[in-house]
């Protein structure tokens, strides 16, 4: 997927259980500052005997970010956990290269699909939130059936959407700095079974998801109110 070879900024298999409240630091892929216990969950699927999370955030990081859910994914989890009314939150960092070989973003969509399929066998009651930032947002586009570059290149570099039996387990979809939004295809227009479940957030001036010209607007989502807006949207659907 040849996505604007500059600035796409994005994680791999790390799953964490966060009971709430919790604060996550964004400077390291798995670093946490917590006020409640944090239990590691095996990356795929849940380890034998490990508790099933009530909610799992499956988040695809941006280009060149270290393995994990990335700084935006961690920030989202930190703001979402306290809004879940005591329900537990697991975090899974999508396992894909997140390099400038954008065609490999399709690997992330396949990994997220496999994660939900595997988890569903052991944790049938867990609900899922799909999330992504930059190239990771393009991964999520594929999962909900949106071409990652809108109609510019069609299905080139894309991957199949989630099968219906797995898609029905997704409660919400949230993306930041989504390339397809620049071409009029935000996740909020996704069809059933994702209709009404998606929010597509673009920072003012971000050239990746809008006609803006401020490259720094693409690299600071975790510091903006958009993360809180996303957390509020997601919690309202859970």
Residues designated as active site: 134, 206, 218
CA distance 13 to 1: 21
CB 9 within 8 A of CB 92: no
**DSSP assignment letter at 103:** G
Q: Which residues contact 67 (CB under 8 A, 6 or more apart)?
A: 11, 12, 13, 14, 29, 93
* E strand spans, 108-181: 127-133, 170-176
**DSSP assignment letter at 142:** H
Angle between helices 135-143 and 105-122 (to 10 degrees): 60
């Amino acid at each position: 997927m040849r996505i604007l070879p500059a600035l796409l900024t994005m994680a791999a298999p790390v799953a964490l259980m966060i009971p709430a409240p919790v604060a996550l630091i964004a400077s390291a892929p798995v670093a946490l500052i917590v006020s409640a216990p944090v239990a590691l969950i095996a990356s795929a699927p849940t380890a034998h005997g490990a508790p099933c999370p009530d909610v799992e955030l499956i988040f695809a990081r941006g280009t060149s970010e270290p393995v994990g859910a990335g700084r935006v994914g961690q920030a989202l989890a930190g703001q979402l956990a306290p809004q879940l009314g005591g329900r537990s939150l697991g975090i899974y960092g999508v396992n894909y290269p997140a390099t400038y070989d954008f065609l490999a973003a399709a690997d992330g969509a396949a990994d997220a699909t496999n994660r939900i399929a595997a988890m569903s066998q052991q944790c049938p009651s867990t609900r899922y939130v799909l999330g992504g930032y930059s190239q990771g947002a393009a991964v999520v586009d594929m999962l909900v059936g949106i071409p990652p570059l809108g109609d510019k290149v069609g299905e080139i570099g894309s991957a199949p959407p989630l099968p219906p039996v797995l898609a029905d387990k997704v409660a919400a979809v949230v993306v930041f700095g989504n390339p397809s939004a620049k071409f009029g295809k935000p996740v909020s227009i996704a069809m059933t079974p994702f209709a009404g479940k998606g929010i597509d957030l673009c920072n003012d001036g971000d050239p990746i998801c809008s006609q803006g010209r401020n490259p720094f607007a693409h690299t600071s989502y975790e510091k903006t109110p958009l993360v809180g807006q996303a957390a509020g949207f997601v919690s309202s659907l859970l």
